[in-house]
Amino acid sequence: MTYMLKKLKNIILDIVFILVVLLSIYLFIISPMTVFGKSMNPALVENDTLLVNKLHYYLTEPKHEEIVVFKYSKNRAIDYVSRIIALEGESIEIKPDGVYLNNKRLTEKYVVGTTKIDREDAFMKENQQVIVPEKSVFVMGDNREYANDSRHFGFVSISDLIGLPFIRILPFNSLNILW
């Protein structure tokens, strides 16, 4: 009987160890995220499930055009996904003919729709140049007419960046690496 109890104890300890490792990976390294809404169409569509690398922004600085998952500053329970357009210290301006980064018009092949600012409560106005503050980024969705992004709520603090989505796992027919 003692042998069976030792064996059972070892199995239970192995299971607990595996659960602790998996929980640690989920909390600190990689976690799934489901896309809601149309703001990132066509790159990401509603109900896509992504794996997000949570370590990425601890190891490297944000880069232009990276797709990023972040905490929405007005409701911390909501995670948003958008594309980084401008980094700290850079100027950003929305004009009728496009987006300007450091006074140069961007060529954004991923954009759907027109980039305009048509909300009264928007953070910035059209033809208004803003400078991205230290430790912040300016983000926008690819499907500009449906995106709630930095044009509307302002800059995203680098500390609010959750991570970099690196693979689409669902639906299975859309399985692919995102970088």
At residue 173, does pLDDT exceed 90? no
pLDDT at 27: 80
User: Do the Cβ atoms of 46 and 37 come closer than 8 Å?
Assistant: yes
pLDDT at 1: 63
Select the more confidently predicted residue: 51 or 173: 51
pLDDT, average across residues 155-164? 96
Q: Could you tell me which of 23, 18, 17, 25 has the C-alpha nearest to residue 54? A: 25
Question: What is the enclosing helix (H) or strand (E) of 79?
Answer: strand 79-87
User: Do the Cβ atoms of 125 and 117 come closer than 8 Å?
Assistant: yes
Domain residue extents for the chain: 33-177
Kindly state which CATH superfamily the domain 33-177 is placed in: Umud Fragment, subunit A (2.10.109.10)
Select the more confidently predicted residue: 45 or 176: 45
Q: Quick one: 40 exposed, middle or buried, by C-beta within 10 A (0-12, 13-18, 19+)? A: buried
User: What 8-state DSSP symbol labels residue 143?
Assistant: B
How do residues 79-103 score in pLDDT, each as one tens digit? 999 999 999 999 999 999 999 999 9
Select the more confidently predicted residue: 14 or 73: 14
How do residues 25-78 score in pLDDT, each as one tens digit? 888 889 999 999 999 999 999 999 999 999 999 999 999 999 999 999 888 888
pLDDT at 5: 87
| pLDDT level of residue 3 (50, 70, 90 thresholds) | confident
How do residues 116-154 score in pLDDT, each as one tens digit? 888 888 999 999 999 999 999 999 999 999 999 999 999
pTM for the structure as a whole: 0.88
